[in-house]
Amino acid sequence: MATVSLQDIKKSFGDTEVIHDVSTDIADGEFIVIVGPSGCGKSTLLRMVAGLETVTSGDVLIGGERANDKEPMDRDIAMVFQNYALYPHMSVRQNMGYGLKIAKLPKGEIDAKVLEAARLLQLEPLLDRKPRELSGGQRQRVAMGRAIVRKPAVFLFDEPLSNLDAKLRVQMRLEIKELQSKLGITALYVTHDQVEAMTMADRMIVMNGGVAEQIGTPLEVYETPRTLFAAQFIGSPAMNVLDAEVKDGWVTLGDRRIVEIGGSDGPVKFGIRPEHLIAEETGAIHVNAKMAEPLGANTLLHCELIDTNESFTASLPGVHILSGENSIMRFSIQPTKSHLFDIDTGLRRRG
């Protein structure tokens, strides 16, 4: 087990800088999720921790020691990939113990470590099967078992659940989080799935264009997003963001006052999450509700703002059926749940 520290990390390919000054300290035993869209630099950042990519400038510290010049095998890390990378001709037992065999550990010690990991992952009945005889979830457990037997200081996961179906993804993310907590191993986990990030992370690093937009707990990022990107990327359905203006302490859409909010006058990006809307006749937000998606516990209403024709989404508890193709509705919002962002920089202005 170990701490990990990223100090002003930069990565360039030729003249193109793809990672820009990322810094954070990861505590011993902490589960960090690096989340963002495709091409944002999250896997590149993970690969620099692993030693699979060189660091252009800055330092990677593992267990307090500078690791920039260490080979991957000398960093005391284990990596689990989207591709399980299992040897098809080997049994589960042989796959899990192969790294220890290469390290020339005694056979008795290898067998004991493999059996211990198999018990932890409920793989004992499968030890003599080949990978082709396993389900996707079982193969993922074998890949994790191969990492566990080494007892690394740091686990690195690169989108390990991307190949699994939706139901199995839910099961496996719970198992991975429970396993990491039980072992107490520091973990960095890369995903593009913000639901995985919200449910698994102790803290998350929200990446965008090689920049760490925000680093914080899931609730911190959700409730007080630092930037417009973090606000829209985290949360499902996504936050509504509208072009608005602050006049005399009120947020206005056109000539309509929406919510009293304070702050300096001027144009802003105004954000409100779909679940923080209240349907009521006195509501200041007027919409045409165009389509309803009943999900059982709640209903998503896809709307269009009457004032500006912008798209707008509301999430209401229970089942709601629209009376026609265009239903006029009004919504109120909770002032403490609204968000203002600078129209030029995208940085948070309040809250």
Within-domain flag for 349: no
pTM: 0.90
Residue at a domain's end among 205, 230, 255? 230
Both 106 and 254 in a single domain?
A: no
What pLDDT does 351 receive?
A: 45
Both 146 and 288 in a single domain?
A: no
CATH number, domain of 96, equals 3.40.50.300
What pLDDT does 270 receive?
A: 93
Within-domain flag for 351: no
Both 81 and 52 in a single domain?
A: yes
Domain count for the chain: 2
Within-domain flag for 350: no
Spell out the per-residue pLDDT of the chain, length 351, in tens.
689 999 999 999 999 999 999 999 999 999 999 999 999 999 999 999 999 999 999 999 999 999 999 999 899 999 988 888 889 999 999 999 998 898 889 999 999 999 999 988 889 999 999 999 998 888 888 988 998 898 899 999 999 888 788 888 888 888 888 888 888 999 999 999 999 999 999 999 999 999 999 999 999 999 999 999 999 999 989 999 999 999 988 998 888 888 888 778 899 999 999 999 999 988 889 999 999 999 989 999 999 998 788 899 999 999 988 876 668 899 998 878 999 999 999 999 864
Which pair of structure tokens corresponds to residue 286? 């007027």
Both 116 and 206 in a single domain?
A: yes
What's the domain range around 185?
4-230
Residue at a domain's end among 180, 202, 230? 230
Both 207 and 247 in a single domain?
A: no
What pLDDT does 218 receive?
A: 96
Both 226 and 259 in a single domain?
A: no
- Strand ordering across the sheet containing 77-81: 77-81, 154-158, 186-191, 31-35, 203-208, 211-216
Within-domain flag for 347: no
Both 171 and 198 in a single domain?
A: yes
